[in-house]
Amino acid sequence: MPSLPRPNLTIASLLALFTHLLLPQTPATAVQVCGIVSCPGSPTNDLSLSPPLVQFPFWLNRQRQSPRCGYQGFDLSCTPGGDTLLQLPSSGEFSVKSINYYSTQSITLADPDGCFPRRLLGNFSLTGSAFRPLIPRRFTFLNCSYGADRSSGTSQGMPATLVPCLSEGNYTVMSVPTRYYSEGSYPCEELATVVVPLPWPFWSDVEDVISLTWDVPDCGSCRKRGGLCGYKSVNGTEVGCSNVPGTGLPRSAKYGVVLGVGIPGLLCVIGLASFVFGKIKAHRRPTRPNAADVSNLIAAQSVTISMGLDRPTIESYPKTQLGESRRLPEPNDITCPICLCEYQPKETLRSIPDCNHYFHVDCIDEWLRLNGTCPLCRNSPEDPS
């Protein structure tokens, strides 16, 4: 006669499973964390632009904080007027407008004198700093001998934009994306061609702010998961992540959760999860960025909303390796619309299904992680419309 299953054993094994899941055998490593601080903010500022929050790897060096609160090269200071300043080793001081600490780590900078193009044409350089441009674009600056009228550039079929802070009297300074510029196409003197770290990929003119990103230390994914990022020990330079939600409950609370919520919860959750998962899958759509999102991103980058696609979705888009002839399967430009570099033989490109626009695989992957739509036509591959 077959023996009946013993219910006590089943509950005991469920309990063991839950204990194992909720109570890690080794405690999470703690990191050294300082408080979040900020400069007072300038009283003349728009009230909606609160001063950027300063936390690891940034720190305020001339104000109260210890160097153990931040990373080398990330020290900020406050002006007497309350603004936040970053000193770049080879180009002087910049005011910090916002800092994005999550996923794509970035910092948005402005010229304290309100004319970033003057800095770009001057000694602007990231040499010796911890930063690189988030979206590098080449622009050519022109000094034209006609009045300051934006239309005088565009009427010749060129997307030139007036640079008001450099234009004066009978001379007008224009910026043109170098991609659209050919020598002699304007009755102007060429000043310089420089790389401009744009804050947003679609901007075709040089604005008052630039955005930079950094690779080390990498706290973005830690913060995105809700963890704390900081030095692992009191005197080392190794950076770690701790307190990711789900591992930080006190021991007694965990037992409470296991016994009180765990067992009935497990059964409910399994049923509910399969139902909800089905619903979510049916309704999931990437969100399109709109003008409001753009200005929010620029004004307050400390609040991030991920609008991008996940890795498996991105990987599912077709890849093409270029041959020696660099010929694309569809008629397409031979420059990557994102980095504006010409495709080279043997490079790997990715195309967006439906619209068949091609990009360098590295460029488009980075883009799609932040935005769910094609950078050229704004088509969302998952959008049936």
Ligand X SMILES: *[C@@H]1O[C@H](CO)[C@@H](O)[C@H](O)[C@H]1NC(C)=O
Q: Is 143 in the site for ligand X (CB under 6 A)?
A: yes
Residues in contact with ligand X, counted by CB under 6 A, come to a total of 14
Q: Is 92 in the site for ligand X (CB under 6 A)?
A: yes
Q: Is 321 in the site for ligand X (CB under 6 A)?
A: no
Least CB distance to ligand X at residue 145 (A): 7
- Of 92 and 375, nearer to ligand X (C-beta) is 92
Q: Is 122 in the site for ligand X (CB under 6 A)?
A: yes
CA 82 – CA 62 distance, rounded (Å) = 13
- Of 72 and 235, nearer to ligand X (C-beta) is 235
Residues 6+ apart with CB under 8 A from 93: 85, 86, 87, 112
Q: Is 176 in the site for ligand X (CB under 6 A)?
A: no
- Of 33 and 294, nearer to ligand X (C-beta) is 33
- Of 54 and 142, nearer to ligand X (C-beta) is 142
Binding positions for ligand X, 233-252, rule CB under 6 A = 235
- Of 170 and 221, nearer to ligand X (C-beta) is 170
Alpha carbon 274 to its chain centroid, in Å, reads 33
**Exposed/middle/buried for residue 237 (C-beta within 10 Å: 0-12, 13-18, 19+):** exposed
Q: Is 133 in the site for ligand X (CB under 6 A)?
A: no
Q: Is 13 in the site for ligand X (CB under 6 A)?
A: no
Residue type, 78: C
Least CB distance to ligand X at residue 341 (A): 28
DSSP per-residue string spanning 140-201: EEEEESS-S-HHHHHTTT---EE-GGG-BTTBEEEEEEGGG--TTSSSEEEEEEEEEEESST
Which of 76, 78, 96, 166 contacts ligand X by CB under 6 A?
166
Closest CA to 140 of 168, 114, 165, 174: 174
- What SS3 class is residue 308? coil
Residue pair 236/250 in contact by the 8 Å Cβ criterion: no
The footprint of ligand X (CB under 6 A) covers: 90-92, 119, 122-123, 143, 166, 169-171, 173, 191, 235
